[in-house]
A and B are shown apart, each in its own frame.
Chain A
């Protein structure tokens, strides 16, 4: 049965919806600073060692990186579509769209695993088996340390997002939400879009430098 009454501290469902959304934006603000600190560290060392970072970025797999970006953008689109479907009271289609979006998250992680494996085989994992034949290997090691920390933390966010999307998808499919109350879908969608935005910047920082030289 869809929710018809707001929680006791809210005047109506509309207010409950707005507060839930605002809460997610506060969380996203903390996440912006969380990833922002990492990106600052990257920027400082990239300014310091432009050649080392370009040479390191060339060793990443741009085909997998670009495919994964397209996958996340598409899954974000499906989630945005699910929100509009839920708003017009279409719980079932919304549930299916959220489920497909979560499955695209699985594809993303699968490709990421293939990538990690090939980096392990190429001895690019700092602290585990790092060894490259370069005049100055230290900046390359630094780049890959950033790469594994940033993509690892992002992958953790994808895993959490997938679990949340799957849960909400089942609830939506069962008709738990209505056109009046679908705040969980909107809030989960905001989180998933944010994970997408983080990847958009990581893609530009990790895969694109040094391609033209």
Chain B
């Protein structure tokens, strides 16, 4: 069956594949959370979340077909967020007294 035989409003195959992929990644991350991997659980959860976000950005938000200017604008927020996290962790992770006291 060729693409042309589908109605015009049919979803492109890439969208359906990414939707399925996102649901598989969701199941995977829940499954991984229950594995006794100690300190590895958090980085794995974050890595899977980043993959999901990247899929949404590239395919659903169409960044892969966007102009270079749009990609720069899309990355700008994350660039400044990176500086925020880098400087903040440079402080908190090197403090002698951690955690910050709460009462």
A residues sitting closer than 8 Å to B (CB atoms) are 18, 21-22, 25-26, 28-33, 36-37, 40, 43-45, 47-49, 62, 66, 69-70, 73-74, 76-77, 79-81, 83-85, 88-90, 93-94, 138-139, 142, 189-190, 193-194, 196-197, 200-201, 203-204, 207-209, 211-213
Contacts and interface: CB of A to CB of B under 8 A. Distances in A.
9 contacts: A33-B84, A43-B89, A45-B102, A76-B60, A77-B60, A88-B8, A203-B49, A208-B33, A211-B33
Given A26-B73, A77-B15, A83-B62, 5 more contacts: A32-B77, A36-B77, A43-B89, A77-B16, A204-B49
**From A36, A79, A190, A204, residue with most partner B Cβ within 10 Å:** A204
A33 B77 contact: yes
Given A47-B92, A138-B102, A66 B15 contact: no
Interface of B: 8-9, 11-12, 15-16, 18-19, 22-23, 26, 29-30, 33-38, 41-42, 45-46, 48-49, 52-53, 56-57, 59-62, 66-67, 69-70, 73-74, 76-78, 80-81, 84-85, 88-89, 92-93, 98-100, 102-103
Contact of A88 (B9, B15, B78): B9
B34 to A, nearest CB: 5
Q: Which 10 A-B pairs have the closest CB atoms?
A: A48-B99, A29-B77, A32-B77, A93-B9, A77-B19, A204-B49, A25-B73, A90-B9, A36-B81, A208-B33
